[in-house]
Chains A and B, each alone.
Chain A
Amino acid sequence: DQQVKQNSPSLSVQEGRISILNCDYTNSMFDYFLWYKKYPAEGPTFLISISSIKDKNEDGRFTVFLNKSAKHLSLHIVPSQPGDSAVYFCAASSGGSNYKLTFGKGTLLTVNP
C-alpha cells in the first residue's frame, strides 16, 4: 500500500525553465511534508518542507505547494539549473512522529544545458 506516490519516474527540463515535480498521498493523517534531493551514491539531502496548516512555502528557487483537499503537493524549481539534476523524493509524516517518514519512489530530474 503506497501512501505517497510520485507517478512520474523521470522529468527532463531545459535549463532556465521551471521544473514541477508532483506528489500525491492517500493518508489524510499526514500533516507534514518534505522534499529531499538525492545524488547518486549519496544520502538524501533535505530541500524544503511544509506543514499542513500552510499551502505554500518558498525558499529561494524552490517552492512547495500543498493542496490538502486534493491530497497533492508539488515542488517548483525556478529557474532550473543543471546542478539540480538528481532524484527528488517526496516524504510525509503524521502526528508529530516526524522521524518516521513515508517516502515516495522518487522522480529523476534531468536539467539539460
Chain B
Amino acid sequence: NAGVMQNPRHLVRRRGQEARLRCSPMKGHSHVYWYRQLPEEGLKFMVYLQKENIIDESGMPKERFSAEFPKEGPSILRIQQVVRGDSAAYFCASSPNIMEGILGTEAFFGQGTRLTVV
C-alpha cells in the first residue's frame, strides 16, 4: 500500500557497514511492525513498536539489530556491522490500533527495502 513509505527501496552495503532502513507509517497509524523476508523464504516477524515504545522484539536478532519509533519522524530499523546473511527484503507495516490492528484489513505493508550486503 502506497500509504506506508519505506526508504530507501534498495540499499547496498559492504560487510561491516551500518544499514538504516526507514518506515513512515500511514497517516493516523501509530503502530509499526517490521518483517524480514530472506531469499526463498516467507516473511518473518521482527519487531512491533508504538511511538517511543518497543512492544515486542522477540523476532529480532539479539545482536547488531535495533529498532526505534520516535515521537517525531519515521521508524528506523538499524543493522550494525552487516553481514551477507542480512541480505533480504525488509518490510514495514502499520496499523491504527492494535486492538483492531490485526495484520489484515486494518494494517498495510510498505513496498519494502531490499538490502544487499556485498
**Chain A residues near B (Cβ < 8 Å):** 4, 6, 32, 34, 41-46, 49, 89, 91, 93, 97-106
Contacts and interface: CB of A to CB of B under 8 A. Distances in A.
Interface stretch (B11-19, B66-74, B97-105): B97-105
Contacts of A42: 111-112
Given A4-B42, A101-B43, A103-B44, A32 B110 contact: no
B52 interface: no
Q: Is chain B's binding surface mostly helix, strand, loop or mixed?
A: loop
Interface of B: 1, 4, 31, 33, 35, 40-45, 48, 56, 58-59, 91, 93, 95, 98, 101-105, 107-112
Q: Is chain A's binding surface mostly helix, strand, loop or mixed?
A: loop
10 contacts: A6-B42, A32-B102, A42-B112, A43-B111, A46-B104, A49-B102, A49-B104, A98-B101, A103-B42, A103-B44
Given A100-B59, A106-B42, A44 B109 contact: yes
Given A43-B109, A43-B110, A105-B42, A100 B56 contact: yes
A109 B105 CA distance: 22
Nearest to A34: B104
Given A44-B91, A99-B98, A103-B43, 12 more contacts: A41-B112, A42-B111, A44-B43, A91-B42, A99-B45, A99-B101, A100-B48, A101-B45, A101-B103, A102-B45, A104-B42, A105-B42
